[in-house]
Structure 1
Amino acid sequence: MMYRCGWGSKEGQETVLAVEITREGFEWALRHACHSHYARGLHENQAAWKQELKRAPARVQWDPERDLRLRPLPYRTLQLGLSGEAARRHADEWTVAIRNVTPLVHEVHALVRGGDLDSAARLPPQESFYTGQDELIAHLQG
């Protein structure tokens, strides 16, 4: 994710925050999410998707994931956008911690630029695959 904000150097994205939320909140957002774009076969038709998108407080898109050298990895990462009720709940109920990780992002980027990928890979928090209930994300697959 760090490269998507230009390693904390893109205009308007110079501060990188790690926001920890409750699992219950994340799963609520998944249950109430809609794809950010129309997907043939996943939606009845474009009109039905547009209607669902209007009412959904969360939007999902699946982004290609990359390694530290920005080479594509064989899986995608869920990007979740919140609005309305989901944004309110995120701010008022789900947020557990917020940390400024900008110095960490800059350090990782410096190591990547210097070719020390092993050290760069050890610095960020370890990520794990979401092992949720299949029915929570079934309507988001596609």
Structure 2
Amino acid sequence: MERPQHEIRAAYGASTVTVYQAYSPELGLPAVREGRFPSAWKRDRMTWIKPSFLWMMYRCGWGTKEGQESVLAVEIRRDGFEWALRHACLSGYVRGVHPDRDAWRRQLKRAPARVQWDPERDLHLRPQPYRSLQLGLSGEAVRRYADEWTVAIRDVTPLAREIRSLVGRGDLASATRLLPQERPYPAADEALAHLLG
């Protein structure tokens, strides 16, 4: 069955959804230890969360890029995630979604969250023909993410290294078995209509 061009795929349970971020060990390790982002974590700047494990691996080079050596799985409340989606604006102008470029700019300026759809990745980190959600949080959304929505923070750097090693040895079946089980996220169509581009 062909996948939709834009679809949120994530590991989620009844009340939480897992998103990924990567930081330097100076930020990542205290976040895991404390189960919340430390005071050094900037609440006044935009932060991007990614429900796709493989897209995060592409972005951080399996945890090898400088400043992204600690790969975190952040479990957040689904009601918070859905609040961010409802209040988000596409990061780029799309004819037919926005009345005009000026209207899009005004909406983007007001929105506490923004959405970008980037090609999903496979185990070799090659782009796929369908897209993966990146959710940028700023202002109120960042504060809610850090102080209200975050339920748990896990270090998945060892998992990233193990999967990368298996891919390097050509054992794609074992690598696939270790991947987080991501499935289509049941967001209501009306909640995503303004984000599909």
TM range (shorter): over 0.9
1:42 to 89, 97, 117: 97
2:119 maps to 64
> Hey, what does 1:11 align to over in structure 2?
66
Equivalences for 1:52-91 in 2 at 5 Å? 52-91=107-146
Q: Which amino acid aligns with 2:179?
A: P
Offset of residue 12 of structure 1: 1.0
Give, as a single letter, the amino acid of the residue that structure 1 aligns with 2:155. N
How far apart are the structure 1 equivalents of 2:93 and 2:183? 28
Report runs of 4+ in structure 1 exceeding 6 Å deviation. Answer: none
Q: Residue 105 of structure 1: SS of its match in structure 2? A: helix
Moved more, 39-48 or 54-63: 39-48
Compute the RMSD of aligned alpha carbons. 1.1
* Structure 1: stretches of 5+ with no match in the other structure: none
Letter in 2 for 1:10: K
Q: How far off is 1:132 after superposition? A: 1.3
More deviation in 62-71 or 86-95?
62-71
In 2, the alpha carbon distance for the partners of 1:136 and 1:77 equals 17
Out of 34, 51, 55, which is 2:106 matched to? 51
CA distance in 2, matches of 1:138, 1:128: 19
For 2:159, the aligned partner's letter is L
User: What is the count of residue pairs matched by the alignment?
Assistant: 142
Higher helix fraction (1 or 2): 1
- Cα distance in 1 for residues equivalent to 2:153 and 2:178: 18
Letter in structure 2 aligned against 1:96: V
Identity fraction in percent:
72
Aligned residue for 2:154, secondary structure, equals strand
What residue is the counterpart of 2:6 in the other structure? none
Summarize deviations over 1:36-92 as a string: whole Å, max 9, x none.
111122111111111111110001011111211234334211110100000011011
Q: Which amino acid aligns with 1:113?
A: G
- Give the letter aligned to residue 37 of structure 1: G
Q: Which moved more, 1:83-92 or 1:124-133?
A: 124-133
Q: In the alignment, is residue 25 of structure 1 matched against residue 80 of structure 2?
A: yes
TM-score, normalised by the number of residues in structure 1: 0.95
Alpha-carbon distance in 1 for matches of 2:94, 2:120: 20
